[in-house]
Amino acid sequence: MKRMRIMGLGLAAIFAMTALFAASASAEAPEYGRCLAHAGGKWKTSGCTTEAKATTEQKFEWYPYSGKAANGEEKPVIKKGYKSKSTEGTLIQLEGTGEGLGGVKTKVGCKGQSSEGEITGNKTNVATSVVFTGCESSGAKCKSATGVEGEIKVNDLEGVIGIEKFGYVKETKTLVPAKNKLANEFTPKGTEFFTEFECASLKVQVKGHVLNPQATNKMIKATTVKFTAPGGNQKPEHFSLSINAETGKETFGPELSLEAKFEQFKVVPFEESGQTLTTVQTNEEGIEANSVI
Predicted pLDDT at 25:
41
Q: What is the DSSP string of 85-136?
A: EEPTTS--EEEE-SGGGTT---EEE-SEEEEEEEE-SSSEEEEEEEEEES-E
Instruction: Report CA Rg, the chain.
Output: 21
- Mean pLDDT in residue range 192-200: 98
List of residues 6+ apart from 3 with CB closer than 8 A:
255, 257, 259, 272
**One-letter amino acid identity for 275?**
Q
Q: Is the peptide bond before 269 cis (omega within 30 degrees of 0)?
A: no
Over range 124-151, report the average pLDDT: 96
pLDDT digits (tens, 9 = 90+) for 169-185: 999 999 999 999 999 99
* 3-state SS class at 140: strand
Q: Write down the pTM of the prediction.
A: 0.87
Q: Average pLDDT in the 16-25 region?
A: 39
Angle, CA of 136, 137 and 140, to the nearest 5°: 70
Averaged pLDDT of the chain: 91
Residue 193's nearest CA partner among 130, 100, 137 is 130
The pLDDT score that the predictor gives to residue 100 is 85
Interval 41-45 mean pLDDT = 97
One-letter identity of residue 236? P
Residue 5: predicted pLDDT = 36
pLDDT band at 13 (very low <50, low <70, confident <90, very high): very low
**pLDDT for 172:** 94
Asked if pLDDT for residue 43 goes beyond 90, the answer is yes
The secondary element (H helix, E strand) that includes residue 287 is: strand 271-290
Query: Would the pLDDT of 14 be above 70?
Result: no
Express each pLDDT in 217-272 by its tens digit: 999 999 999 999 999 999 999 999 999 989 999 999 999 999 999 999 889 999 99
In three-state secondary structure terms, 203 is: strand
Q: Are 191 and 239 in contact (CB under 8 A)?
A: no
pLDDT value, residue 147: 81
Give the pLDDT mean for 31-51. 97
Q: Is the distance from CB of 204 to CB of 198 less than 8 angstroms?
A: yes
Domain ranges of the chain: 11-30+79-290
Give the pLDDT band of residue 146 (cuts 50, 70, 90). confident
Q: How many CA atoms lie within 13 A of 199 on its CB side?
A: 26
DSSP label of 228: B
The answer on pLDDT for 40 being more than 90 is: yes
Q: Is there a contact between 245 and 174 (Cβ–Cβ < 8 Å)? A: yes
